Copies of this chain bind each other. A is one copy, B any other.
Amino acid sequence: MAVQTAESTTESAAPSVDLGPAAALSCRECGHRVPLGPVFACQECFGPLEIAYDFSAHDTEELRRRIEAGPANIWRYAPLLPVPADVATKPNINPGWTPLVRADNLARELGVTGGLYVKDDSGNPTHSFKDRVVAQALEAARAFGFTTLSCSSTGNLAGAVGAAAARAGLRSCVFIPHDLEQGKVVMAAVYGGELVGIEGSYDDVNRFCSELIGDPAGEGWGFVNVNLRPYYAEGSKTLAYEICEQLGWRLPDQIVVPIASGSQLTKIDKGLRELIELGLVEDRPYKIFGAQAEGCSPVSAAYKAGHDVVRPQKPKTIAKSLAIGNPADGPYVLDIARRTGGAVEDVTDEQIVEAIRLLARTEGIFAETAGGVTVGVTRKLIGSGALDPALTTVVLNTGDGLKTLDAVADTGLTATIRPNLDSFREAGLA
């Protein structure tokens, strides 16, 4: 079954790299196709490039059996990803197949009757969904002969790149603002790669990385979220695949996804559509909802104003892993939310913290601030009627509370007593 077939036989006739079913790069704006390579922008229109696949070889039931017999990580979906068929034998951090938690306690609190699930990606090797995307970028880096894995980051991505490069035996060089909190520096530095502080803001770090890619000094460097971005981004499809397989090869009715650049949400939509086209799930409607923090809500603001374009904002929120003021995929997110009948909503920092506590208290899941955003937005969308509590709903938690302890730092002891029963009784604990 062909989801997207290669238009040019030249591409498939002389492939320079083996990235499995990935056939070419295709511009999301103008459709122009180029061979697979470490490029990310269309030569014709400067639009973003994404992977075009040739899935024509797949028989639905044989594919399903192959997936189900695969490893308990994202490589069970190797036939649908831009990776070589033998990917599972290569040293990679093997993320994925994280729990889809049936959240009955949370459902009761939120009034959801149709089945509520939390896709908990804090179980990944470095405890965020970034391991999924970096794992793809690593395979692309190997395919293109890169010897250094790199990125700009302020947190989760730095650790994911450092860990993946260490496992694969590649050099890593991660760029961060020089004045990051010491804890975050430790988490990124412990893997032993180069960790370079840049005297400037995160924007300065990004600008410098773009400069480095164009310079001979950057030769042999794979920047996971720049020149490897088309491959990297595909990792988010695995969230869609896992959710459907864990639901028994069924689409959720509603799914709530955090928005940083917006790439994750667009790739989850892509993954769901692929499963439909491949016949692995029944073709029926699903709604995708986007979640932002009020302090960085450019997509939510555009959605509410009925705009097609996103006006950049200067982020100011505790949800730092979502704090991208000028999200590259913002317009695509707006399109998907509207097309599927979803919505985009935002919550305040206070509501984020409340939601982190709610999720921990009801389900024993300690989410990072991004998880507080999705749970908080879910609650708000139920309140407004945009999200139907009678339908099956999946909420994403993309990171780990241990990495954003500051958000709940005022959590403390419920009592302090002396070590005897009288003191215990006096405290009203008996």
Contact = CB atoms under 8 A, between A and B. Distances in A.
Interface in A173-196: 173, 176, 178, 182-183, 185-187, 189-192, 194-196
B190 A421 contact: no
A192 B360 contact: yes
Contacts of A127: 127, 400, 402
A238 interface: no
* Majority secondary structure, A binding face: mixed
A413 B126 contact: no
A361 B166 contact: yes
Contacts of A189: 411-414
A305 interface: no
Contacts of A183: 405
Contact of A196 (B187, B191, B217, B414): B414
Nearest to A191: B360
Interface stretch (A44-52, A92-100, A385-393): A92-100
A420 B217 CA distance: 12
A357 B166 CA distance: 11
A126 B196 contact: no
Task: With a 10 A CB-CB cut-off, give which of A361, A402, A408, A414 has the most chain B CB atoms.
Answer: A402
Contacts of A167: 105, 363-364
B205 A419 contact: yes
Interface string A37-62: 00000000000000000000000000
Interface stretch (A289-297, A320-328, A337-345, A422-430): A422-430
A178, A191, A418, A425 interface centre (most CB from chain B within 10 Å) = A191
A104 interface: yes
Interface stretch (A77-85, A208-216, A223-231, A261-269): A208-216
Contacts of A365: 125, 163
Contacts of A408: 186, 190
A197 interface: yes
A403 interface: yes
A169 interface: yes
Residue from A164, A169, A208, A364 with most neighbouring chain B CB atoms (10 Å): A364
A159 B214 CA distance: 47
A72 interface: yes
B357 A420 contact: no
A133 to B, nearest CB: 15
B162 A211 contact: no
B204 A419 contact: yes
A417 B400 CA distance: 30
B187 A421 contact: no
A413 B185 contact: yes
B191 A418 contact: no
Contacts of A403: 402
Contacts of A212: 421, 424
B413 A362 contact: no
A260 B155 CA distance: 33
A292 to B, nearest CB: 23
Given A173-B429, A187-B366, 10 more contacts: A72-B97, A94-B99, A163-B364, A176-B413, A187-B401, A187-B405, A189-B412, A190-B360, A190-B408, A191-B360
Interface of A: 72-73, 91, 93-94, 97, 99, 102, 104-105, 120, 123-127, 159, 162-167, 169, 173, 176, 178, 182-183, 185-187, 189-192, 194-200, 204-205, 207-208, 211-212, 215, 217, 356-357, 360-366, 400-403, 405, 408-409, 411-421, 424-425, 427, 429-430
